[in-house]
Amino acid sequence: MNHMPRETWLAYVRGVLTPEERDGCDTHLAEDCATCFEIYLEALEELAEVLPQPDTASLQASVMKQWDIEHRSAAFPPARQTGIHLHPRSWFQHPLLHYGVAAAITMLLMGTGTFQFLMGSVSAAVDPDHPDLARPAAETEPYSVRWMEKTVGLLDRIESKREREDNR
């Protein structure tokens, strides 16, 4: 890669290059040439005192004006032609609601064993000798079914204990 000389970068910073030369420098910087970028930064530092300083007050005002325009249009959709006033975003459109619904659906699918069933199906399709196929049915059934069976067993034991206490 051909690197631009230091004098070219100094002229680039001063703004005295022809449009073709300036385009060449822009293209070279866009190509991520680290050596030339370093020379460019050194040229900026060297000429920092002679370069015009930005009017920070007008720059700040311009940025804040653009910020207000962007955020107002995002917070309030344009008014309908029926004359309805602008309303804030509906809570149905709030991202936290979407994340909550997605988390609830994920937990439901995990709790019902859908993901485990799908993974078993994929494993069986990819590798017919997969160890999951050799496991007994009790080990391959979803966790939710096993939990439900344990819960029912626990409730049966509690109920039988109550019946024994009532018979005394």
Q: What digits encode the pLDDT tens for the residues 27-60?
A: 888 888 888 889 988 988 888 888 877 788 888 8
Q: Which two tokens stand for residue 168?
A: 């005394």
pLDDT at residue number 57: 87
Angle between helices 6-14 and 19-30 (to 10 degrees): 110
**Does pLDDT of 125 surpass 70?**
no
Digit-coded pLDDT (tens) for 6-34: 899 889 888 889 999 999 888 888 888 88
Q: How many CA atoms lie within 13 A of 46 on its CB side?
A: 14
Say how far apart CA 146 and CA 137 lie, in whole Å. Answer: 11
Digit-coded pLDDT (tens) for 130-162: 555 555 555 567 777 887 888 888 888 888 887
Q: Is 125 exposed, middle or buried (0-12, 13-18, 19+ CB in 10 A)?
A: exposed
What b-and-e string marks burial along 24-51, b requiring 16 or more CB atoms within 10 Å of the CB?
ebeebeeeebeebeebbeebeeeeeeee
Say how far apart CA 28 and CA 26 lie, in whole Å. Answer: 5
**Which of 62-66, 71-75, 100-104, 164-168 comes out lowest in average pLDDT?**
71-75
